[in-house]
Amino acid sequence: MKLSLCAALLCLIAGHATAQGFAGLGSDAEGFAIPQSPAIFDFPTDHGAHPAYRIEWWYLTANLTGPDGTAYGAQWTLFRSALTPNDATGWEASQLWMAHAGLTTPDTHLSAERLARGGIGQAGVTTTPFAAWIDDWSMTSTAPATADALDALSIGAIGDGFAYDLSLTASGPLIFHGQAGYSVKSAQGQASYYYSQPFYDVAGSITLPGGTIPVTGTAWLDREWSSQPLSETQDGWDWVSLQFDDGARLMGFTLRDSARAPFTAATWIDADGTTQSYPDGALRMTPHATTQVAGRAIPTTWRIALPDRALDITATALNPQSWMDVSVAYWEGPVTITGTHQGRGYLEMTGYE
Amino acid sequence: MVYTALSTLFSHWRRHPGQLAMLVLGLALATALWSGVQAINTEARAAYADAAATLGQDRLDRLVRADGRPVPLADYIALRRAGYLVSPVISGELRAGDARLRLLGIDPLTAPPEANTPTLQGEDFNLAAFFTAPGLLLMTGATAAGPLPPDLPPIRTTESFPPGAALTDIGTAARLLGQSDPSYLLIWLDQPAHLPPLSTATNLQRVAPEQRADPAQLTESFHLNLTAFGLLAFAVGLFIVHAAIGLAFEQRRATIRTLRALGLPLRSLLTAFGLELAVLSLFAGLVGIILGYAIAAALMPGVAGTLRGLYGADLPGTLSFDPIWALAALAMTLAGAALAGAQAMGRTARMPILAPALPQAWHQASTRQMRRQAGVALALLSLSGTLALWGDSLILGFGAVACLFLGAALLLPITLSTLLRLAQRGARGPLGEWLLADTRQQLPGLSLALMALLLALSANIGVSTMVGSFRATFVGWLDQRLVAELYVTAQTEAEAARLVAYLTPRTEAVLPVVWADTTLAGRPGAVYGQADHPTFRDHWPLLAALPDAWDSLATGDGVLINEQLARFAGLSPGDSLTITPGVTLEILGIYSDYGNPEAQAIITDDLFAATFPDIAPTRFALRVAPTATAALASALRDDFGLPADAVINQTQIKRFSLEIFEQTFLITGALNLLTLGVAGFALLTGLLTLADMRLPQLAPVWALGITRARLARFELIRSLILAALTFVLALPVGLALAWMLLAVINVQAFGWRLPMQVFPADAGRLLALALLAACVAAALPALRLARISPSRLLKVFAHEA
Amino acid sequence: MLLQIDGLTKAYGPVAVLRGVSLTLAHGQSLALTGESGSGKSTLMHLVGALDAPDDGSIMLDGVEITGGDDAARAALRRDKIGLVFQQFNLIPSLSVAQNIAFQARLAHRHDPARDAMLAQRLGLSDLMSRYPEELSGGQQQRVAIARALAHAPALILADEPTGNLDEATGDAVLDLLLELVTSTGAALMMVTHSTRLAARLDRRLHLSRGQLAPLGSG
């Protein structure tokens, strides 16, 4: 039952299990709050959970390097999914929590999942001090009280055969996607609140079956919440977060649509944190090569172009088998960038059947 | 060739439809009783397996609090935050009047994969509805159809869930049961490798599945009992078949001889015989399976009631059809028929072609054979006695019963023969002498049927003595224990306080009934707090006690325990018992506690309040002048406003308890009667088989001047004499059986011993029943004898029969 | 006249077995009935022995009409007046030789131990008195049957092929004893046999053919 339940966890948004779009993300927002433009953020409160919205996540990806130069990737994600738009305590679960942890090496990819109900303390997010946790997995602020809570984080997770323990320090500001954090997801106007901290330097250790390895690197935290982020015909997305060697960063995604042309969006982030958002059509993401992963063909090399920034690169998966074998399975792993720009980043692909 | 032989053989049945009916009915009855009992056992075992496998309880360890109380939620969260994979369950029972429902509240988000909870997906399954109020209850259609407590959340039906129980979200269970702390935590089989052992992380107690009370284990004796009854009935049924086949063989001697003389090879003849038997048994087996299913379906509600009453095991009241069961029953029928037919086949094979076609008595049991049987019988009986006195397990107990039965059966022919010989000495007149001598001579031919009767009668006497003793003891015990005139239950502690204030001036005594579920000597049980009051001192019989046990109890210096706990844990007065961690008391005495499968201990109410400070009494036993009882009861309902079912008087409880008791032994009574019926039928077939062969014995007596009617009367009397003598023998066997059931089996199976009482009226009734059965069995052969034509008798004397 | 039979008829279903048989037999006389298989000789004998009832005709035994009574009356008659010896299964298997011999006499309340002893002695059974029929040879069994038939001093002995199952020498010896005892006790004997050799040794002979009598020899 467990698997089916978890598959259904995200379907809860729909209230019925006929999946519309990936994991049922494309359905109406009955009774829940809807993101509004202009977006007005209030920190540290907005670092915490928004129970009035149906879905929310704290999504961290890290590109890491070992002492011998081997590249690694780590993922720590906490999803919140609301059954009803309130925040009851005790067993009357109205908020369900799901967490994924992933650890990628050039030849292995390990993943784990945890589920919990809200209200009893097994999982949740607090803002002062900032902490997000489920069981013994956690993302805790280590920033001084005067700084933004997300400026420094300690994250840890333990799965079957792997673990990691990372310290993160931000070297730049929070950045806001779309219209100052109001991120439109379709031509029909579905949107979410979406901001990131893309400037983390990382130090820590990862544990693999072979032993514990000290690592350093960079990381990117995404915060996003909404009640209806996809339109009904959007059945998956391809998303990248890229860090170029010159210090600039790029967030871009393509929402694949079964009924019309794909919807794209991108945010260019200069090394100083200045951002420019690009509307639908500015970014072009083209699959370049596919790999058989978990019985399906998945593009693990992408041609990515943003003509406005004279960007034309190829993003290649560090490990094409970076398959998150969890209840709602998807591909998530580090990529290396070649072409007009060099660097590293993370690629996420959902909705490949 | 085989076909010709077969059709010739079958022509016999066309001419003797009665015999055919007897053969088929005998096989069908044997199959029916056996397969019926097996069907019940199979159903029950499947239910236990289902129940045991619910939430993977057969494989998963649990964490519980040592005192049996719920696990604090904070303890659960602490374990999860430390990385341990445990999952909370809130379980409990909702009751309203007769309706009861066990709730199993799970947290699907953390449930171990081994828990195999029923699928929550479905066409239009609303998962949000499962998690959020009012929630959903998943139960089988049968449970949903039964009486349910009121005000339940919406119900969805599911398959393969234990009867009388519902699966729901832990949040829903918490709300319905008013309990926020988990009842226990399920432990995932695989824990993260880097963590220290769970035992170092918590004070909670880890309980493995095998340490928990398992209904399959508890009820094993009951099912062994049923199986024994089924086998007994099957064996008795085979007597019938044996007789029918033997009769058919005798009557077809001439046919067989002619067929052989005409050149039919022996092998073809035997093949034809085998085919004939196979066809008949197949048909009879099918009839038997249908009958067996009907019997089982009819008995099932009673069995379910019995098992609930005795062991608290829940069974569906209905029966499902299992093809494996049907095939097994059919195989059993075929094997049984082969066994019963083997003798006739062997005789056919050995019969010389030119043997005279004269009927002969084919049971030639000589005195020597009877003596040899008696030797074996005595050995078996001594073994039985040894097992009963010194055996210390249930299996050995049943072994003792089996040896007793077998020994008694083997001893029957020589005992009857001896009794008849002794009677012959005292017989007056030639006819009396002849009657006894002839009865004695008939013994070998009837001994199998009489053995069947003996077993049926003994089982009847034994079981009814056991049930009667149990009932008498139980009623006496109820009278002693239920001395308070009224029992009231408050909904809340606040109401309880108001109730006590209201009652104190209106009653002679208000005695709180308060208990805590806990673990006693490693077994689930309960500790009761009891006020020091003459109500208890004067009325609670103690099986064993230290001097001044009640005084020591009153000062809080010790504990009384029930017989089950004493036997299970091998405790005696003077030993000590831990009632909750940190509280160990001396055992002052042992009291009988019939019908309760669990361990129980009693301490004084003050000690209880000190030990379990957060349990306040909400139930009270009231001592009232008997004349004022009714008025107080209605005042409690009308003036104080207690709901009707919160005020129960003593008579109601007694009636309710006795109803449960009667229900408990319903199946036993039914099986008893069925077995006796089958034994009666075996006697009938035995007599019918002998009837034709007896003509050479009866014809001379008739010729010498006795009318046929008188001979027929003698036949009836003979049957009655045999039944009566068999009954006389069944009496000691039955009483021995009762003693074994009460003093050996009961102690091993239930943990209590009952004083044996003898019920002469029951025995008298059974004797009448046995004589009636004998009369009915002998009536048909006797009637046929009374109406036989003289020429048939005269044929005996003629050249060629 | 001890026995007077007149116009006796008997049919079993459509088969007429006796078609008007008449005969007489005096006290102390012996009569041999011979005939083919199925000629009705056994049936005639059974009617005379009150073992069965005729369809028509009359049988006077010792001046009493025996054809009119019911089952009980016929049984009483057999008990009191008739001694029977059949070809086989004469004896009651569950009773000893002594009990067999005394059985009918005791039923008729005419038991005389001295007579039993005399008969046993004459028939050479004295050493066999406590044996059971199945322990005896065929000849011994027939001798017990004769003793039993004579023990209650019946007026008429009916013997149906009494030596049919015995070899010739044994049969002759048994017949010798039977004839001698019948004569010495004053009873009359009617014997069915298919053997003319044996029939020749009796006082009178009648031949039965297709249900009707014809005299044979000095009948």
Q: What is the pLDDT of residues B599-643, one digit of tens each?
A: 889 998 888 888 888 788 888 888 888 888 888 888 888 887 777
pLDDT, one tens digit per residue, over B756-795 is 888 888 888 888 888 888 888 888 889 988 988 888 888 8
Phi-psi region of A178 (alpha: psi -120 to 50; beta: other; left: phi over 0): left
Q: What is the number of alpha carbons within 13 Å of residue B161 lying toward its C-beta?
A: 27
As given in the structure block, the two tokens for residue B680 are: 């009666």
Measured distance CA(B266)–CA(B571) in Å, rounded: 69
Beta bridge partners of C4: C24, C60
Q: B438 touching C, CB under 8 A?
A: yes
Does C have 3 or more CB contacts under 8 Å with B?
yes
Query: What own/partner pairs with CB < 8 Å and gap ≥ 24 does B347-353 have?
Result: B347/B249, B348/B249, B348/B256, B348/B266, B348/B269, B348/B270, B348/B273, B349/B266, B349/B270, B351/B253, B351/B256, B351/B257, B353/B257, B353/B260, B353/B261
Measured distance CA(B201)–CA(A107) in Å, rounded: 36
Angle at C209 between CA C206 and CA C215, to 5 degrees: 25
Contacts of B190 in chain A (CB under 8 A): 160
CATH (residue range C3-215): 3.40.50.300
Longest dimension (CA), chain B: 103
Q: Using CB atoms, which residue from B109, B132, B194 is nearest to A116?
A: B109
B neighbours by CB contacts (3+ pairs under 8 Å): A, C
Structure letter (DSSP) for residue B560: E
Report ipTM for this prediction. 0.90
Closest C-alpha to B119, from A2, A338, A188: A2
3-state secondary structure string across B178-189: CCCCCCEEEECC
Contacts of B713 in chain C (CB under 8 A): none
Measured distance CA(B202)–CA(B206) in Å, rounded: 10
CB A333 within 8 A of CB A73: yes
Angle at A52 between CA A51 and CA A56, to 5 degrees: 55
Measured distance CA(B14)–CA(C140) in Å, rounded: 42
First vs last C-alpha separation in chain A:
21
pLDDT, one tens digit per residue, over B360-418 is 333 344 567 778 888 999 999 999 989 888 877 777 887 888 888 889 988 988 899 88
Exposure letters B222-240 (e unless 16+ CB within 10 A, then b): bbbbbbbbbebbbbbbbbb
Exposure letters A23-45 (e unless 16+ CB within 10 A, then b): bbbbbebeebbbbeeebeeeebe
Q: B73 touching A, CB under 8 A?
A: yes
CB–CB of B116 and A1 under 8 A? yes
CB C92 within 8 A of CB C103: yes
Measured distance CA(A268)–CA(A246) in Å, rounded: 13
DSSP codes joined into one string, B616-680: ---EEEEE--GGGHHHHHHHIIIII---GGGEEEHHHHHHHHHHHHHHHTHHHHHHHHHHHHHHH
Q: B196 touching A, CB under 8 A?
A: no
Longest dimension (CA), chain A: 54
CB–CB of B127 and A11 under 8 A? yes
Measured distance CA(C131)–CA(B686) in Å, rounded: 28
pLDDT at residue A139, as a whole number: 97
Q: At what angle do helices B2-15 and B253-261 cross, to 10 degrees?
A: 160
pLDDT, one tens digit per residue, over B206-230 is 877 765 555 565 566 567 666 766 7
Contacts of B697 in chain C (CB under 8 A): 92-94
C neighbours by CB contacts (3+ pairs under 8 Å): B
As given in the structure block, the two tokens for residue B614 are: 């957060």
Residue at A133: amino acid letter:
W
Q: Using CB atoms, which residue from C94, C108, C161 is nearest to B440?
A: C94
CB B203 within 8 A of CB B648: no
pLDDT at residue A293, as a whole number: 92
pLDDT at residue B173, as a whole number: 92
CB B403 within 8 A of CB B387: yes
- Range in A2-11, B264-273, B733-742 the model is least confident about: A2-11
Q: A160 touching B, CB under 8 A?
A: yes
CATH (residue range A3-17+31-349): 2.40.370.10
Q: What is the dihedral of CA B579, B581, B584, B588, to 10 degrees?
A: 0
Closest C-alpha to A64, from A331, A319, A345: A345
As given in the structure block, the two tokens for residue C199 are: 């029939």
What 3-state DSSP class applies to A234? Answer: strand
Q: B78 touching A, CB under 8 A?
A: no
pLDDT tens per residue, chain C (219 residues)?
A: 889 999 999 988 888 888 889 999 988 889 999 888 878 888 898 899 888 889 999 999 888 888 878 888 888 888 888 998 888 778 888 888 999 999 988 888 889 999 999 889 888 889 999 888 888 888 888 889 989 988 888 889 999 888 887 888 888 888 888 888 888 878 899 999 888 888 888 999 888 888 888 765 444
Residue at B315: amino acid letter:
L
pLDDT at residue C182, as a whole number: 82
Q: C-alpha distances in angstroms, A331 versus A234, B185, B583, B689, C125?
A: 17, 34, 58, 83, 114
What 3-state DSSP class applies to B415? Answer: helix
Measured distance CA(C98)–CA(C147) in Å, rounded: 10
Smallest CA–CA separation between A301 and chain B, in Å?
Answer: 35
CB–CB of A158 and B83 under 8 A? yes
Measured distance CA(A86)–CA(A118) in Å, rounded: 11
- Range in A4-18, B326-340, B674-688 the model is least confident about: A4-18
CB C149 within 8 A of CB C85: yes
Q: C-alpha distances in angstroms, A56 versus A98, A99, B137?
A: 11, 12, 30
pLDDT at residue A29, as a whole number: 54
**Token pair 């004269």: residue:** B358
Measured distance CA(B12)–CA(B258) in Å, rounded: 14
Best C10, C48, C95, C110 member to test B by mutation, with max B CBs in 10 Å, is C95
Across chain A, which has 353 residues, the per-10-residue mean pLDDT values are: 34 33 48 88 93 92 96 96 83 87 95 91 93 96 92 94 95 93 85 94 94 96 86 85 95 90 94 93 93 92 95 96 89 96 95 83
DSSP codes joined into one string, chain C: --EEEEEEEEEETTEEEEEEEEEEE-TT-EEEEEE-TTSSHHHHHHHHTTSS--SEEEEEETTEE-SS--HHHHHHHHHHHEEEE-SS--S-TTS-HHHHHHHHHHHTT---HHHHHHHHHHTT-GGGTTS-GGGS-HHHHHHHHHHHHHHT--SEEEEESTTTTS-HHHHHHHHHHHHHHHHHHT-EEEEE-S-HHHHTTSSEEEEEETTEEEE-S--
CB B205 within 8 A of CB B66: yes
Measured distance CA(B454)–CA(B765) in Å, rounded: 16
DSSP codes joined into one string, B209-239: GGGS--HHHHTHHHHHHHHHHHHHHHHHHHH
Entry pTM? 0.60
- Kindly tell me the burial class for residue B210, based on how many C-beta atoms sit within 10 Å of its own C-beta (0-12, 13-18, 19 or more): exposed
Report residue B667's pLDDT band, with 50, 70 and 90 as the boundaries. low
Beta bridge partners of A222: A59, A196
Measured distance CA(C98)–CA(B152) in Å, rounded: 88
What 3-state DSSP class applies to A166? Answer: strand
Q: B133 touching A, CB under 8 A?
A: yes
pLDDT at residue C185, as a whole number: 79
Measured distance CA(C174)–CA(C101) in Å, rounded: 16
CB B737 within 8 A of CB B404: yes
Query: In B55-125, where do the E strands start and end?
Result: 62-64, 86-96, 99-106
pLDDT, one tens digit per residue, over B442-495 is 887 777 778 878 888 888 888 788 778 877 777 777 776 777 788 888 877 888
Smallest CA–CA separation between A326 and chain B, in Å?
Answer: 14
pLDDT at residue B305, as a whole number: 67
Q: Using CB atoms, which residue from A1, A5, A84 is nearest to B132?
A: A84
Longest dimension (CA), chain C: 49
CB C8 within 8 A of CB C57: yes
Peptide bond into B359 cis (omega under 30): no
3-state secondary structure string across B744-758: HHHHHHHCCCCCCCC
pLDDT at residue A252, as a whole number: 95
CB–CB of B794 and C46 under 8 A? yes
pLDDT at residue B442, as a whole number: 80
First vs last C-alpha separation in chain B:
29
**Token pair 């027929």: residue:** B712
What 3-state DSSP class applies to B305? Answer: helix
According to DSSP, the β-strands at B486-489 and B509-520 are unpaired
Q: C-alpha distances in angstroms, A281 versus A187, A257, A349?
A: 11, 14, 19
Asked if pLDDT for residue B359 goes beyond 50, the answer is no
Q: B358 touching C, CB under 8 A?
A: no
Report residue B193's pLDDT band, with 50, 70 and 90 as the boundaries. confident
Length of chain C: 219
pLDDT at residue B358, as a whole number: 38
